[in-house]
Amino acid sequence: MKTVLLIGTLDTKRTEYAFVRDLIHARDVNTLVMDLGTLEEPSFMADVSAEDVARRGGSTLTAIRERKDRGEAVNIMLAGARAITRELYDAGRFDGILGLGGGGGSAMISAAMRELPVGVPKVLVSTMASGNTAPYVDVKDLTMMYSVVDIAGLNPLSRRILANAAGAIVGMVTQGHPSAADRPLIAATMFGVTTPCVTAARERLEAAGYDVLVFHATGSGGRAMEGLIDDGWFAGVLDVTTTEWADEIVGGVLTAGPDRLSAAGRRGVPQVVSVGALDMVNFGAPETMPASFNSRRLYRHNPQVTLMRTTADECRDIGRRVAEQLNRATGPTVVLLPLRGISMIDREGQPFHDPVADEALFTSLRSALNPNLRVRELDAHINDAEFAHALADELLALM
């Protein structure tokens, strides 16, 4: 039988959890219950008690109750829930996870859910699901359902919503997965301005027997890819479009954070890396641009996106930071540089064409990379077929 992990505060939402538990059991699915409540004792026993969670978070229920600091309590239980949830999943104890929460509960439950790999069913009924859900979902396949009313007792409306949630998680864990050809997976990064390159490289890799998952390098895309690499999904990485590093260093809106370009190296996954779209920093509409950048070279990509050309000094910094990440790689790594331009609008005659800034980037990378890392330079533009095919062939050779 399949098993659903029910996780949440059984002290304040005991009736609601008992309701969904019984509905799940009625569908011939087991439950495993983890209690995160710190205020009172639950009305039914949990398989993982709040005391267990508190101790794993570095404290005890007695200490939490004595201090009466709600923020501290949430942080302790959050840490404990994350650790225990991952351990239970790794031990094969459950197949999907369901939680019900308000503000604090949603923070704890979603943190535990994000510990699980993509593909594990995750459903969170939350009072917070009608606003900005990014802090709860991040880059995982977490399904949030708006509770409409507060999760505070059972009534005709809440019963319907909670029943829908129980049905959703049961359906997810019992749904079979269509079989597919067992082809190794490759991760690739793409931006609109590197699409011809990545498309040609993808087609070459697919013809060689691989499936290529393309991630849009918009910050969340880069972070999603890094997480899946860490989860062991990929046989190789074609990181053509490392543009998120420009936003991280210069201050754009599409940064993927300081850990970008770390997962493949950490896992020893073969990777071929290039410098796609490092000529640009991303901002929103023109009126949202920081005033300090008003005199810079700008390009209106669309009404909601304004691009800013990176300077030679910024490119030197970007090259150094990218090299620092790649120097930590424990697996085979090759860097390819397109000497005639790094994006669709960084070509001779295009608005971001700047050979001086590009050379600053290339020189910085060359000088900062470890001598044991191979750097290959092509007298081609990034979107030329010659360069795209070279990327694919280098990765095939590494794998």
Mean pLDDT of 51-71: 94
**Domain-embedded: residue 179:** no
Cα atoms in the Cβ-side hemisphere of radius 13 Å centred on 183: 14
pLDDT band at 301, cuts 50/70/90?
A: confident
- The per-residue pLDDT for 180 is 58
What is the DSSP secondary-structure string of 190-209? E-GGGHHHHHHHHHHHHHTT
Domain boundary (152, 174, 196) is at 174
- The per-residue pLDDT for 181 is 62
Query: pTM for this structure?
Result: 0.83
Phi, psi of 140 (to 5 degrees): -105, 160
- The per-residue pLDDT for 44 is 83
Same domain, 197 and 128: no
**Domain-embedded: residue 392:** yes
**Domain-embedded: residue 113:** yes
Sheet holding 271-273, edge to edge: 211-216, 185-190, 236-239, 271-273, 333-338, 374-378
**Domain-embedded: residue 229:** yes
DSSP H or E stretch at residue 283? strand 280-283
Same domain, 357 and 269: yes
Same domain, 137 and 230: no
- The per-residue pLDDT for 40 is 84
Number of domains in the chain: 2
Same domain, 49 and 164: yes
Same domain, 136 and 199: no
Q: In terms of pLDDT, which residue wins out, 7 or 182?
A: 7
Same domain, 148 and 192: no
Question: Does position 42 have pLDDT exceeding 90, yes or no?
Answer: no
**Domain-embedded: residue 226:** yes
In whole angstroms, what is the distance from residue 264 CA to residue 267 CA? 5
- The per-residue pLDDT for 323 is 98
Q: What is the CATH number of the domain that holds 108?
A: 3.40.50.12020
Same domain, 16 and 163: yes
Mean pLDDT of 325-348: 97
**Domain-embedded: residue 281:** yes
In whole angstroms, what is the distance from residue 394 CA to residue 337 CA? 13
Supply the mean pLDDT for the chain.
95
Same domain, 210 and 349: yes
Q: In terms of pLDDT, which residue wins out, 100 or 181?
A: 100
Question: Does position 179 have pLDDT exceeding 90, yes or no?
Answer: no
Q: 84 vs 32, 164, 302, 329, CA distance in Å?
A: 12, 27, 46, 30
Q: Specify the length of the chain in residues.
A: 399
Give the residue among 143, 142, 145, 106 at the shortest CA–CA distance from 129. Answer: 145
**Domain-embedded: residue 244:** yes
Q: What percent of the chain has pLDDT over 90?
A: 91
Question: Does position 3 have pLDDT exceeding 80, yes or no?
Answer: yes
Quote the radius of gyration of the chain (alpha carbons, Å).
24
Question: Does position 253 have pLDDT exceeding 70, yes or no?
Answer: yes
Same domain, 297 and 356: yes
Domain boundary (113, 148, 174) is at 174
Mean pLDDT of 313-317: 98
Mean pLDDT of 134-146: 94
Q: What is the CATH number of the domain that holds 278?
A: 3.40.50.12030
Same domain, 59 and 170: yes
Same domain, 190 and 126: no
pLDDT band at 363, cuts 50/70/90?
A: very high
**Domain-embedded: residue 180:** no
Expressed as residue numbers, the domain containing 14 is 3-174
Same domain, 124 and 221: no
pLDDT tens-digit map of 195-252: 999 999 999 999 999 999 999 999 999 999 999 999 899 999 999 999 999 999 999 9
